[in-house]
């Protein structure tokens, strides 16, 4: 039996989101008059409960991808199925859907039932491995599973977007993760810059620690600079600060882009909209590293780079984030492992393959800033 037959087509965490099994829709008249904060608490509480487990599932699937021994791979799948079963049982007992408003109930239903879909697929995969399911049957099961999961994900995305618009709530980092970053949490308010005189006027809610952090100072430095004897601040109080430390360092001036770098970028953009496909290496469907490898090979530069994200991360030379140039490979991690690669374009924008296909994103958004792992320069 070929090894690849044992591997679940790895679906990005966002594609695991959601399912359509009916969940109770409760009539909560009290919610009709509830403040936005109640809805905000509900939806973020939901995300905080589910996201850590989805990350565990994603990590486990990646680990299984690297197992070469069929028997060990099956044992790992069996363990994952048990983990899913235990999580669902725990959820049934301790995280009742009826404590949420009806719209959040539906969001939970998509999350909960997506795990059931994955659990059932793993059971079918194990049956196939032991010869209880034929090749033709398993191919059909796999196709149906991917179709079902993608449909569930679409439902979840649509419901979440509707919820956000209708309820005027923002999503935290965990909800953004579950949504494959298609809906970003509201960006953090930029640090208040110092005025031209290097001072800062204290506002309601400010603390010495917060102000010091804004300007890259320690509390001790801030107190010494202002001859403060206590940590107490008053609204309207004017503090001396380091005016040059208020914001992130400005990117270094970008060197002239070579013809090869421009070829890479131009060609990468022509593939925007091409679909995602597990293991894909052609415009019929790409995975993240299949896309970058294909672009480098076919952009007119005929440059060969390794196939996997991990190996691409080992290639080229390291580049600091404030020295990025067009065509550089940018990498992102989920947990401790580097799992996503894209191609830097310009002005903090990069291009990569999401579960929705080839698209551009900004390094300045919260998710990508937090998961940024580094960059490599392949060409000069």
Would the pLDDT of 54 be above 80?
yes
Degrees, nearest 5: CA angle 106-111-114: 120
pLDDT at position 178 is 83
pLDDT at position 316 is 92
> Structure tokens of 207?
């603390």
pTM: 0.44
| Number of other residues whose CB lies within 10 A of the CB of residue 297 | 14
pLDDT at position 204 is 63
Cα separation, 50 vs 54, in Å, equals 6
Phi/psi of residue 287, nearest 5 degrees: -100, 180
> Left, alpha or beta for 304 (phi > 0: left; psi -120 to 50: alpha)?
beta
Distinct helix (H) and strand (E) counts, the chain: 13, 10
CB 90 within 8 A of CB 218: no
Would the pLDDT of 223 be above 50?
yes
- pLDDT bin (cut points 50, 70, 90) of residue 211 is confident
Residue with the bigger pLDDT between 191 and 25: it is: 191
Element (H, E) at 92: helix 70-94
- pLDDT bin (cut points 50, 70, 90) of residue 256 is low
CB 133 within 8 A of CB 141: yes
Residue with the bigger pLDDT between 243 and 305: it is: 305
Cα separation, 194 vs 244, in Å, equals 8
Degrees, nearest 5: CA angle 125-84-181: 95
> Left, alpha or beta for 116 (phi > 0: left; psi -120 to 50: alpha)?
alpha
Cα separation, 288 vs 74, in Å, equals 26
Provide the 3-class DSSP secondary structure of residue 313: helix
> Structure tokens of 223?
């107190």
First-to-last C-alpha distance (Å) of the chain: 44
Q: What is the pLDDT of residues 264-323, one digit of tens each?
A: 999 999 999 899 888 889 999 999 999 999 999 998 878 999 999 999 999 999 999 999
Per the DSSP assignment, residues forming a β-bridge with 285 are 282
Range ranked top by mean pLDDT from 38-47, 211-220, 322-331, 356-365: 322-331
Cα separation, 51 vs 176, in Å, equals 9
What's the whole-number mean pLDDT along residues 180-185?
A: 45
CB 278 within 8 A of CB 142: no
Which residues does 64 contact at the CB level (< 8 Å), separation at least 6? 7, 8, 73, 76, 77, 80
Residue with the bigger pLDDT between 205 and 143: it is: 143
């Amino acid at each position: 039996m070929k090894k690849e037959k044992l591997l679940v087509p790895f679906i990005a965490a966002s594609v695991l989101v959601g399912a359509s099994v009916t969940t109770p829709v409760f009539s909560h008249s009290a919610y009709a008059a509830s403040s936005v904060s109640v809805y905000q608490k509900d939806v973020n509480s939901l995300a905080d409960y589910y996201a850590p487990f989805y990350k565990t599932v994603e990590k486990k699937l990646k680990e299984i991808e690297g197992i070469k021994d069929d028997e060990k791979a099956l044992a790992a799948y069996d363990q994952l199925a048990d983990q899913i079963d235990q999580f669902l049982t725990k959820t049934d007992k301790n995280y009742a859907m009826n404590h949420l408003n009806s719209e959040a109930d539906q969001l939970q239903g998509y999350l909960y039932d997506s795990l059931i879909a994955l659990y059932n697929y793993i059971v079918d995969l194990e049956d196939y491995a032991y010869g209880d399911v034929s090749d033709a049957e398993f191919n059909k099961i796999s196709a149906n599973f991917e179709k079902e999961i993608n449909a569930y994900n679409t439902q979840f995305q649509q419901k979440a977007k509707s919820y956000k618009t209708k309820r005027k709530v923002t999503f935290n980092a965990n909800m953004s993760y579950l949504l494959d970053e298609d809906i970003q949490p509201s960006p953090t308010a930029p640090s208040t810059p110092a005025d031209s005189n290097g001072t800062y006027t204290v506002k309601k809610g400010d603390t010495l620690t917060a102000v010091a952090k804004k300007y890259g100072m320690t509390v001790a430095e801030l107190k010494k600079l202002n001859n403060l004897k206590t940590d107490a601040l008053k609204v309207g109080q004017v503090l001396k600060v380091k005016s040059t430390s208020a914001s992130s360092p400005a990117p270094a001036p970008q060197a002239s882009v070579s013809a090869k770098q421009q070829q890479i970028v131009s060609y990468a953009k022509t593939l925007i909209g091409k679909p995602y496909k597990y293991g894909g290496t052609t415009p019929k469907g790409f995975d993240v590293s299949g896309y970058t490898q294909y672009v480098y090979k076919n952009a007119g530069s005929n440059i060969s780079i390794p196939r996997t994200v991990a190996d691409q991360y080992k290639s080229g030379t390291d580049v600091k984030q404030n020295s990025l140039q067009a065509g550089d490979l940018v990498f992102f991690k989920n947990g401790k492992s580097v799992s996503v690669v894209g191609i830097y374009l310009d002005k903090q924008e990069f291009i990569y393959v999401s579960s929705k296909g080839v698209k551009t994103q900004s390094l300045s958004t919260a998710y990508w800033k937090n998961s940024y792992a580094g960059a490599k320069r392949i060409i000069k």
